[in-house]
Amino acid sequence: MKDGTEAEFPCPDIAKTYRAIMGGVDLADQMSGLYDINRKSNKWWKKVFYRGMMMAAVNTWVIYSELNRKKPAFLPVLVEIAESLSEKGKESTAYKRSRRSGRSSNRYKSMTNVGDHLLI
């Protein structure tokens, strides 16, 4: 109080719960802030995408750490995730040539490479 006396008040349950689970949110923010993957862009959706990817990587690291009861360094896990995603992307977007002989039309050429631009 202003006069120097102390008064005791019960702590609300919501404050106790918040304090108990806030550490996980702080850890996730700290881990995602270690390696900034946000690229300079004016597109808001790209920033949201990169933030979501980093949150997924942090969650992967946390789940892996809890399952194996050891905490590996975050950077090797992040690099492994990035490499596996890029390899999977290369496999799914490989250009496949047709086995037809002869000259193909422009319409056929444009249809054969459509898979490189579509989401799976």
The helix or strand, by DSSP H or E, that contains position 65, with its residue range, turns out to be helix 44-68
Length of the chain as a residue count:
120
What is d(CA 69, CA 59) in angstroms, rounded to the nearest whole number? Answer: 15
pTM of the model: 0.55
Q: What is the DSSP string of 18-31?
A: HHHHHHHHHHHHHH
CB distance 79 to 73 below 8 Å = no
pLDDT digits (tens, 9 = 90+) for 56-103: 888 888 888 889 888 888 888 888 888 888 888 777 776 655 555 555
pLDDT digits (tens, 9 = 90+) for 5-62: 888 888 899 988 888 877 667 777 888 778 777 667 778 888 888 888 888 888 888 8
